[in-house]
Structure 1
Amino acid sequence: MSIPDRIRALAADNNTDIKGLALRVGAKPRTVQNYVLGERAIGAEFLSMLTSGMGVSASWVLTGMEPMYLNRTQSSVVATSDYVPIAKFTVSASAGGGAIVPNEDQVGQYAFSSRWIKRRGLKPDSLAIITVTGDSMEPKLRDNDLILVDRDQRDPSDGRVYVVRIGDELLVKHIQRTGARVIDLISTNPIYPARTIDLAAESDSVQIIGRVVASMQEW
């Protein structure tokens, strides 16, 4: 069951329709309809409206994890602060020769622990989830792994893994500084050679999108 399906199920379970659900939580009916049709990804504000207005669990809305409703001893503030929805985009970062960047449309969301995000010093609005393609970062990152990218961290540090845009290519690589504005893009897989980038000379075509702060496999 998808997030739109769970919103429909929530309305039906409370003997109302989408318009009635919108009125109960204080949202615009058209906005809720867009969520149900999958034309718009659910955001933190609407998630808070659902938990406050309907007593539904944020975890259930985002992932389907039971229970559907909060315990009477729980508050909606606790529930919405437990998990933060992070957007997943259709764009892929190549762990190989380079992937052509498609339209970066949002295709879903994943729930992350807000405690984990706060402990890492991250900001939810700066995070994005994208897919890895290729084998150049194996065994650290494998084909079809999901990576969490912090778009606030764009100043490269030695040894860290970053997503880098070069023209129409999007790469995920280790970065090693070799000069004031010169970096090497290094693969974990030794069969792939390093690629040297002069950030000053290629500033128009090279952009560091952000640092990879976590990875996960989707089975």
Structure 2
Amino acid sequence: MAPLPASPRKSGDAAAQCLDRLMRALDVASDAELARALGITPQSVNGARRRREVPPAWVQTCAARTGVNAHWLFFGRGPARLPEAGAGELPCAPADCESDLVTIPLAEARLSAGTGSLEVSAAQEGGYAFRSDFLRRKGNPRRMVLMRVSGDSMVPEIFDNDVVLLDQGQTDITPGRLYAVGFEDAIYIKRVDKLPGKVVLHSANPAYPPLSLDLRGDGADQFRVIGRVLWSGREYR
């Protein structure tokens, strides 16, 4: 991986230093070029410098596009780039291991908390940054993805438009746990029980009765576990 270019300016202002690191990561030399690279207006960059506050979404976008460590972009600490690793490993230097951030991509596909979503695009729309030590405790960060939820069948646990974190490496069903599952062309988020010859999908909302899926015959080929749900988050409007 090529080294990051030298910083175009120096400043004691933490927000200005963060903006400089974004410019280094994106290999741009001016605020106007930074704005184009992030898909924002030059006025937004000027406003961030004036307020001395950099929106986290800019850092997340930069990290997702460049592979640069989001924690380094935010704070200037830790390695600028995390080292490559084999499957199941996401190493970091001992001094930085507890605080490194890893950006998990947000897929455009939406999980249904209702009757089943048909929005199954695998494209991505940015991502959110998580502490690497948190992700490793939960599973394999390299197999994780974020997806947004549609519907109200998991209320009050998960609401419409919430974001959930999935580990696609955890596909063995533990009864009662929360999973993203696919059946035919639809994908759901449900609590899953596995019985002989079938699975039962449970909603949190009592208005939705359990859904029993027969896995005998052709049904076994149409059902798949996408991954286990590890975390959910909500944006307020």
Contact 2:182 2:226 in 1 (8 A): yes
CA distance 1:167–1:10, shift in 2 (3 Å): farther
Q: Structure 1: which 5+ residue stretches go unaligned?
A: 1-5, 21-32, 49-57
1:47 corresponds in structure 2 to: 68
Unaligned runs of 5+ in 2: 1-15, 40-60, 81-92
Q: Distance in 2 between matches of 1:211 and 1:17?
A: 34
Match of 2:189 in 1: 172
Residue number in structure 2 paired with 1:195: 211
Distance 1:82 1:188, change over 3 A: same
What TM-score comes out, normalization by structure 2 length? 0.65
Q: Distance in 2 between matches of 1:142 and 1:88?
A: 17
Change (3 A) 1:176 1:12: closer
Would the alpha carbon gap of residues 133 and 47 (structure 1) be closer, same or farther in structure 2, given more than 3 Å must change? same
How far is the alpha carbon of 1:118 from its aligned partner?
2.1
Give the letter aligned to residue 71 of structure 2.
S
How far is the alpha carbon of 1:150 from its aligned partner?
0.8
Partner AA of 1:91 in structure 2: A
State the SS of the aligned residue for 1:153: coil
Which residue of 132, 136, 139 maps to 2:149?
132
Q: Secondary structure at the match of 2:126?
A: strand
Q: How many matched pairs?
A: 180
Q: Report percent identity of matched pairs.
A: 30
TM-score (norm 1): 0.69
With over 3 angstroms needed to count, the CA separation of the structure-2 counterparts of 1:37 and 1:178, relative to structure 1, is same
The CA deviation at 1:98 is 1.1
The 8 Å contact of residues 175 and 186 in structure 1, kept in 2 or not, is answered as: yes
Change (3 A) 1:11 1:211: closer
Residue 108 of structure 1: aligned partner:
126
Q: Is the 8 A contact 2:38 2:62 kept in 1?
A: no
How large is the RMSD of aligned CA atoms in angstroms?
3.4
Report if the CA contact (8 A) 1:41-1:108 is conserved: no
Query: What is the DSSP-based 3-state SS (H/G/I as helix, E as strand, rest coil) of the residue aligned with 1:92?
Result: strand
Q: 1:18 aligns with which of 27, 31, 42?
A: 27
